Structure formats: structure tokens, C-alpha cells
Amino acid sequence: MRLLCLLALALPLAAEAGFVPLFDGKTLNGWFIVNKMGPGFLVKDGNIVCPLDGGQKLMTEKEYSNFVLRLEYKLEADSNNGIGIRAPRNGHTSTLGMEIQILDQSGPKYGPMKLRPEQYHGAIYDVWPARTGFLKKPGEWNTQEIRADGRRITIRLNGALILDANLDDVKEPEVLKKHLGLARKSGHIVLLGHQAYVEFRNLRIQELP
């Protein structure tokens, strides 16, 4: 029984039925970087790391349309990153694709008086706010699921549903004019580093019909 328990703990989360890993824990095979800052992204202790002097766009070689993306990440105080979905290779991911905000908003740099609701953690950046209060403290691992199914985007953070968006409900002309990516049907998944320390692990994806 003890052996079985140890084997179960050793199985990677990528072994979930229907999911395939996006990260092998050792290399950045399957990814490429655009607009590299400093060292870009590194692999350290089985995690993808955006160092303090690194970042910009680490993109999957493959493009995805409808999918469920699951991952874990750990922030430090004032960490700022993002997860791009349905993104093109070139141009601003947050406007030509969509950016899911990854942000520690508990520190002085990104306090509540300095951000709009559409800029908080878990939001579709600059488009759709997320529920707050479910992000763990800096230094602790968070689990997140992003589900993109046609025009519906849902996000679960540490088991809580924090965003349930129907993109067809976005009606503001200025938002639609700026965020052309809301109309995209497929694109790359992107880790968006902004010279702030973040670690990622257990990235896996299930494609939907």
C-alpha cells in the first residue's frame, strides 16, 4: 500500500485523462521566445522561471483554439506576468490576442487605488474583471484553469470560479476597436514576463472540439 501511494504521488499532473503536458520539466522544447528581455525565461528545479531581469513573450510553438489549460504558478511580492491565449506571434498579446492577468496586487506597487477592475489578477486584461480574494500569498503555489470554449472564457483559481465571460457580451465600441483579439479563434499560448519574478509548473492542456 505504501508503494502504491508513493507511485501515485510521483505521477505528473500531466497524466490527467485527456491532458498533455506543455512543459517537460527539463527544457523549453515546444516553446519559442519573442522580444526577449535579458535571459528571457529559464528552467530551474523543474519549473519555468521568469527572473527579475528577464521576460517578454514565451510562446507555444503550436496554436490552440478551444482548450482547457491547467497550470500552477508562484508569485513574489509585486510580481506581474500574464497568460496570453489565442495570441498571434507578433504585436501586443493583450490587444491582438487576450491576456489573462497574473499579478500580486497585495503589495504597495499595485494597490487597489492604482488599478482598474479589469487589471486585477485573473481579469481578461483591460476587458473583463475577475472576482478577487482567491489568490494565495506570495511564495505559495496557486492552481489555475483557463477554459476557452468558443466565445466563452472561464477561469478557476485555487478551485474557485473567478471569471465567466461571454465575449459576445462585450459591446463597448472603444474596447472592441482596441481589442481585436477578442474576435480571434486560435493562436499561441504565451507566458508574458515583465521583468518580475514568477515560477510556473505542471502546465498541461486538453484540446476541445
In this structure, is residue 11 part of a structural domain? no
Does some domain include residue 16?
A: no
pLDDT for 14 equals 39
Range of the domain at 38: 23-207
| CATH number of domain containing 41 | 2.60.120.560
Containing 2, the helix (H) or strand (E) segment is helix 2-10
Q: For residue range 140-196, list pLDDT tens digits in order.
A: 999 999 999 999 999 999 999 999 999 999 999 999 999 999 999 999 999 999 899
Residue with more model confidence, 111 or 30: 30
Q: Is residue 14 situated within a structural domain?
A: no
Does residue 17 lie in a domain region? no
1 has pLDDT over 60: no
- For residue 184, being part of any structural domain is answered with yes
User: Do the domain assignments include residue 10?
Assistant: no
Q: Evaluate whether residue 5 is within a structural domain.
A: no
Confidence of residue 112 (pLDDT cuts 50, 70, 90): low
pLDDT recorded at residue 11: 44
Q: What is the mean pLDDT of residues 106-113?
A: 72
Residue 9 is assigned to a structural domain of this protein: no
Would you list the DSSP string of 34-70? Answer: EEEETT--EEETTEEEE-TT-EEEEEEEEEESSEEEE
Distance CA 65, CA 184 (A): 9
Question: What's the pLDDT score for residue 13?
Answer: 44
- Over range 109-135, report the average pLDDT: 90
Residue-wise pLDDT tens digits, 5-64: 333 434 444 358 899 999 999 999 999 999 999 999 999 999 999 999 999 999 999 999
Q: How many CB atoms are closer than 10 A to CB 124? A: 24
Report how far residue 193's alpha carbon sits from residue 53's, in angstroms, rounded to the nearest whole number. 10
CB of 179 within 8 A of CB of 95? yes
For residue 111, the model assigns a pLDDT of 67
What's the CA gap between 100 and 86, in Å, rounded?
Answer: 11
Number of independent structural domains in the chain: 1
